[in-house]
Structure 1
């Protein structure tokens, strides 16, 4: 009987290197990746082997797939699985890295950013418009728009954070320290503004109160997830 198990991902935009290191540790124990999805990896039990893992972000047409995967195979990287424009590869230690310099690493994040932006921008724009509509409307329409805006925000906010994280990764590689620092500061500025509006500004109305509460959650929740996943990686690393 085939043995499988599922492990969580820290989110490739947020902890790609940690994920790849974790997959290597599992392979040493005989647990190898067979598939991956948005929030985790499916592992299959086999013989222990030392594999290194890496991901590439590339939008492929069906006609280009064979040539694309053959290119990696000729360099020693075996294709494991793909999810949308994200492709997971593995190789033996000592294989030439997929990204060998700053320019190719920047290109990697450019590809990742392009695929995410096409999804993030429409969601964010629609969400903003619906929230604006909720603020200027009244009655049943207002209530309906608030519900729709809240649902859209559940998708738009994590997507926006992911795009920001990808930009942050790209700027780190490029050595743009000012922008990297700005990305770290912005969430806390937004959190402070939201708290001030929610608790100290009178007469803002239910729509603004809900929106500011969601802004607080949008900062607090990813921060909590980051803390939890950091602990998960540390504890998991010790157990493995």
Structure 2
């Protein structure tokens, strides 16, 4: 089994999808996500020429995956609400127009804007507590660290979705 770090499906999906295709050409097949979704796992197998794409759906039903299968796409792995599919080159793309891609990006942008606002509010409250409470410095650092992590993990994907929307509109 091989593990490779991803670029971030929210930030640079094209790079990750290209990496999946390159790994498949080398006989390494995407089969999962490693710890904390920071990387992808690959198993050895025959080399294949494949293309990869992704779609977002919060609560997919079996019919959801059947629709893609009927169009020639095979579900490979899911990461939260992001579902990665593979197909032979020349298969019709998952998103036939920019409208369905835009709808997915807008939905994700709105979700992560809310998450980022909540994380920013928590960070602000922790900052106020640190300024007003006479706690030891190691407690302040620990609180600030715990508050920054959710902010980073929500703000970075938000930026990725905003950039994806900008690219669609260019």
Q: State the TM-score, normalized to the length of structure 2.
A: 0.88
Q: Residue deviations 1:116-157, cap 9 Å, x none?
A: 34543322211111112222x131288645531222113312
Structure number with the bigger relative contact order (C-alpha 8 A, sep ≥ 6) is 2
Match of 1:49 in 2: 48
Number of aligned pairs?
A: 168
What's the Cα RMSD here?
2.0
Match of 2:133 in 1: 138
Match of 2:8 in 1: 11
Query: Which of 77, 100, 103 does residue 104 from structure 1 map onto?
Result: 100
Structure with bigger strand share is: 2
Match of 2:80 in 1: 84
Equivalents in 2 of 1:144, 1:158: separation in Å?
Answer: 22
Given that residues 10 and 19 in structure 1 are in contact (C-alpha distance below 8 angstroms), is that contact kept between their aligned partners in structure 2?
Answer: yes
Shift of 1:173: 0.6
Shift of 1:29: 1.5
Match of 2:145 in 1: 150
Equivalents in 2 of 1:96, 1:36: separation in Å?
Answer: 26
Structure with bigger helix share is: 1
Flag structure 1 segments of 5+ consecutive residues without an equivalent: 176-240
Runs of 4+ in 1 over 6 A off after TM superposition: none
Match of 2:168 in 1: 173
SS of the equivalent of 2:10 reads helix
Q: Where do residues 1-240 of structure 1 align in structure 2 (5 Å cutoff)?
A: 4-37=1-34, 38-60=37-59, 64-135=60-131, 137-140=132-135, 144-175=139-170
Given that residues 12 and 160 in structure 2 are in contact (C-alpha distance below 8 angstroms), is that contact kept between their aligned partners in structure 1?
Answer: no
Q: Residue deviations 1:57-84, cap 9 Å, x none?
A: 1101xxx420111111111111011121
Shift of 1:98: 0.8
| Structure with larger Rg | 1
